[in-house]
A and B are shown apart, each in its own frame.
Chain A
Amino acid sequence: MEKSMTAASKLTHDILSLGRKNKNMLALSPVANGFLNLLMVIVCVLALIPIYVIVISSVTSEAALTANGYRLWPEEFSTMAYTFLFNKGSILITAYINTIIATLAGTFLAVVMVGLYAYAISRDNFKFKTFFTFYAFFTMLFSGGLVSYYMVTRQVLQIQNSLWALFLPSAFSPFWVIVMRTFYKANVPNEVIESARMDGASEWRILLRIVLPLSLPGLATVALFSAIGIWNNFFNCLLLVDEAKFYSLQFTIYTTLNNIRFLLENADKMAGLVNVSTLPSQTFRMAMAVVTVGPIIFAYPFFQRYFIQGLTIGAVKG
């Protein structure tokens, strides 16, 4: 998979990249393009149906929902769920802020740690690469269990009830290390590094000026998935946070929905101790689901340009 870029091919590519509009040879035929567009539209509509149902039911009145169940168009509109939601706003706002900070910090940490680790083990001349690869990989399969993890994070590392709890446990991922290693191997050939080193560049310079630009799509992928992972993660909060002021966003919705499910499932065992009537209504749950998705849906569009742009930058740097 070594794609060595000779000077000639780079030149050709530069010329071509400037004249992108003229890539008639590579473009799809209009028929194929039209067909694929149509296909995509259908697929997207289908994929959106469940989301549509959720959004619609969040603005349906509770009475209509109970009477008729979920429908494609509400019999009766009502924004009660949202007003109710914003009345309980303070916890949600805190959770939003916590999650945003945690996502930013965690993503940064993840990209740095994963990037460095993967780079190290992708170099053939790294003596311990097999050891470190295995060291990371082993943890993907074997774990000490929940109780042990709980004990270590709370009693040894003591990160509970803090913002650290929300992202530190997610700040590194052996999975992405291994994926990035493949990416580095493919995109950052040893010859390039060697030639730079022979030119007298320091490791730091090599990393920043050569490796980084070449690995941008990969790192962008890691950043994207880490950001989403941390945003969506409720487990860290579940295990490590007791105090409302450190709640994460997904945890609040998860807890609400899961509490309801738990109480409904166990109603017979608890002999009616809990008055299930006071649980949040269905429309409220839907509204929560909508609201907690939040800005993360813009994460992908944000990162998209790195996927498309990546190679151009690399080639120019040559």
Chain B
Amino acid sequence: MALPGAIWLFLFAYLPMPGIIMAFKTYRFTKPPADSLIQNKFIYSLITSPWVGLKNFEYLTLQSNINNTLTYIRNTVLYNLLFMVVGLVFSVALAVIIYELTNKFWAKLYHSILFLPFFISWIVVAYVVCALGSSNGIINSILASKGLGSIEVYRLKGAWPIIFLVANLWRYTGNGSIIYLAVITGIDPEQYEAAAMDGAGKWKQFLNITLPNLIPVIVLLQILAVGRIFGSDFDMFYTLPNGAAVVKDVTYTLDIFVYNMLRSGSPIGYPAAAAFLQSIVGFILILVTNFVVRKTRPELSLF
């Protein structure tokens, strides 16, 4: 039964995986000679390229640049944690609210509306942010008409974590709440009835019935999210600030750093090295988190 999926994984994920060694080599293209067993040009070139160990990781740990790298990593990790925690609260809250609203028609309508932002690509959203927050944007013109000062969103460092958080919530809450809603719908209502008959209020019902049922999924999703902690939603972080330089310290993540580096024409070992780093860190973190979970509630762990 697991076979179709396993084959798919083999073809699409495991076959390309040896390419990961590019992180440790300086790629030189060489055409395989006519008598070589391996005629595939990429594989041959990869095998014959010189091994350079950790040299491709140098630019990340460059003495002169280490501050920047650490800043970007800090941004990446903190934003991810922020999104994980706040996003979780909002998604669960939304799922519960949708479930509880008495008029199902309105509930479905709200949920469908909140689902829409997911479909708007970030580049277009960046235009909107510009439209709203730039110096002659909508917000400023409203403020100006009331005689209040103006805010320059692209100069305010402090504004950006809020903007990213709001943007992230705007886009993903509707979406994220669906999994939780599916689980809540699966809860036997008679449990609630029994609790209600025992005199438990809505909040107690939530704590003692809804939440425990959600815990497996929540824990699972958080463990998986931890594995991506060195990654980020590239499109959002890159396009929303519109290249505003003043706020770079709070808007740049590791992915953006890697992308910019690509533009400087660096060897392809560099982004491969960065990706490897992200993978390794994520992997270790997941193993650790999973280990912790296994010790406390074994049935919830990943494996």
CB distance from A115 to the nearest CB of B (A): 9
Query: Which residues of B have CB within 8 Å of A257?
Result: 121, 123-124
Q: Are B18 and A144 in contact (CB under 8 A)?
A: yes
Q: Are A25 and B220 in contact (CB under 8 A)?
A: no
Docked complex: B1-47 residues within 8 A CB-CB of A: 1-2, 4-6, 8-9, 11-20, 22-23, 40, 42-43
Q: Are B17 and A144 in contact (CB under 8 A)?
A: yes
A261 at the interface (CB under 8 A from B): yes
Query: Which residues of A have CB within 8 Å of B110?
Result: 40-41, 43-44
Could you tell me the distance between the alpha carbons of A132 and B130 in the complex, rounded to whole angstroms? Answer: 47
Could you tell me the distance between the alpha carbons of A166 and B221 in the complex, rounded to whole angstroms? Answer: 27
Q: Are B125 and A50 in contact (CB under 8 A)?
A: yes
Query: Which residues of B have CB within 8 Å of A140?
Result: 224, 227
Our pick among A13, A17, A289 for the contact of B124 (Cβ within 8 Å) is A289
Our pick among B182, B193, B213 for the contact of A217 (Cβ within 8 Å) is B182
Q: Are A69 and B189 in contact (CB under 8 A)?
A: no
CB distance from B101 to the nearest CB of A (A): 6
A119 at the interface (CB under 8 A from B): yes
Our pick among A37, A51, A116 for the contact of B5 (Cβ within 8 Å) is A116
Cβ-closest chain A residue relative to B10: A135
Could you tell me the distance between the alpha carbons of A97 and B214 in the complex, rounded to whole angstroms? Answer: 39
Query: Which residues of A have CB within 8 Å of B193?
Result: 16, 23, 25-26
Could you tell me the distance between the alpha carbons of A27 and B107 in the complex, rounded to whole angstroms? Answer: 14
B241 at the interface (CB under 8 A from A): no
CB distance from B214 to the nearest CB of A (A): 10
Cβ-closest chain B residue relative to A177: B5
Q: How large is the interface on A (under 10, 10 to 19, 20 to 34, 35 or more residues)?
A: 35 or more
Query: Which residues of B have CB within 8 Å of A71?
Result: 131, 138
Could you tell me the distance between the alpha carbons of A304 and B95 in the complex, rounded to whole angstroms? Answer: 13
Q: Give the contact stretch, choosing among B60-68, B73-81, B246-254, B278-286.
A: B278-286
A47 at the interface (CB under 8 A from B): yes
Q: Are B279 and A143 in contact (CB under 8 A)?
A: yes
Q: Are B182 and A33 in contact (CB under 8 A)?
A: no
Q: Give the contact stretch, choosing among A76-84, A147-155, A193-201.
A: A147-155
Query: Which residues of B have CB within 8 Å of A187?
Result: 186
Given contacts A12-B190, A70-B131, A145-B275, contact A310 B185 (CB under 8 A): yes
Docked complex: A264-313 residues within 8 A CB-CB of B: 265, 282, 285-286, 289, 293, 296-297, 300-301, 304, 307-308, 310-311
Could you tell me the distance between the alpha carbons of A121 and B237 in the complex, rounded to whole angstroms? Answer: 37
B155 at the interface (CB under 8 A from A): no
B165 at the interface (CB under 8 A from A): no
Could you tell me the distance between the alpha carbons of A237 and B172 in the complex, rounded to whole angstroms? Answer: 24
Q: Are A156 and B216 in contact (CB under 8 A)?
A: no
CB distance from A149 to the nearest CB of B (A): 4
Could you tell me the distance between the alpha carbons of A185 and B1 in the complex, rounded to whole angstroms? Answer: 16
A72 at the interface (CB under 8 A from B): yes
CB distance from B68 to the nearest CB of A (A): 21
Q: Are B188 and A311 in contact (CB under 8 A)?
A: yes
Q: Are A54 and B283 in contact (CB under 8 A)?
A: no
B197 at the interface (CB under 8 A from A): yes
Docked complex: B88-134 residues within 8 A CB-CB of A: 97, 100-104, 106, 108, 110-121, 123-125, 127-128, 130-132, 134
A221 at the interface (CB under 8 A from B): yes
Q: Are B189 and A133 in contact (CB under 8 A)?
A: no
Our pick among A178, A217, A220, A310 for the contact of B302 (Cβ within 8 Å) is A178
A263 at the interface (CB under 8 A from B): no
B179 at the interface (CB under 8 A from A): yes
Docked complex: B215-262 residues within 8 A CB-CB of A: 216-217, 220-221, 224, 227, 239, 243
Given contacts A27-B102, A47-B117, A218-B182, contact A132 B132 (CB under 8 A): no
Could you tell me the distance between the alpha carbons of A203 and B130 in the complex, rounded to whole angstroms? Answer: 57
Summed over the interface, the residue pairs from A and B with CB atoms below 8 Å come to a total of 282
Q: Are B5 and A136 in contact (CB under 8 A)?
A: yes
Q: Are A33 and B101 in contact (CB under 8 A)?
A: yes
A90 at the interface (CB under 8 A from B): no
Kindly name the residue among B18, B100, B112, B119 whose own CB sees the greatest number of chain A CB atoms within 10 A.
B119
Our pick among B2, B15, B103, B130 for the contact of A117 (Cβ within 8 Å) is B2
Q: Are B102 and A28 in contact (CB under 8 A)?
A: yes
Q: Are A148 and B303 in contact (CB under 8 A)?
A: no
Q: Are B188 and A3 in contact (CB under 8 A)?
A: yes
Given contacts A16-B189, A220-B182, A232-B119, contact A141 B16 (CB under 8 A): no
Q: Are A70 and B127 in contact (CB under 8 A)?
A: yes
Q: Are A143 and B17 in contact (CB under 8 A)?
A: yes
Q: Are A44 and B114 in contact (CB under 8 A)?
A: yes
CB distance from A10 to the nearest CB of B (A): 9
Could you tell me the distance between the alpha carbons of A41 and B134 in the complex, rounded to whole angstroms? Answer: 27
B50 at the interface (CB under 8 A from A): no
Q: Are A179 and B128 in contact (CB under 8 A)?
A: no
Query: Which residues of B have CB within 8 Å of A308?
Result: 104, 185
Q: Are A285 and B124 in contact (CB under 8 A)?
A: yes
A171 at the interface (CB under 8 A from B): yes
Q: Are B124 and A311 in contact (CB under 8 A)?
A: no
A66 at the interface (CB under 8 A from B): no
Could you tell me the distance between the alpha carbons of A72 and B40 in the complex, rounded to whole angstroms? Answer: 57
Given contacts A50-B128, A289-B120, 6 further A-B contacts (CB under 8 A): A5-B188, A33-B102, A41-B110, A132-B2, A296-B119, A308-B185
Across chains A and B, which 5 residue pairs bring their CB atoms closest together, nearest first?
A: A148-B19, A70-B131, A144-B19, A117-B5, A144-B16
18 A/B residue pairs, CB under 8 Å, sorted by A: A23-B189, A26-B192, A33-B100, A51-B116, A53-B128, A117-B4, A141-B286, A142-B17, A143-B275, A147-B268, A148-B16, A149-B12, A168-B12, A171-B8, A228-B119, A254-B123, A257-B124, A308-B185
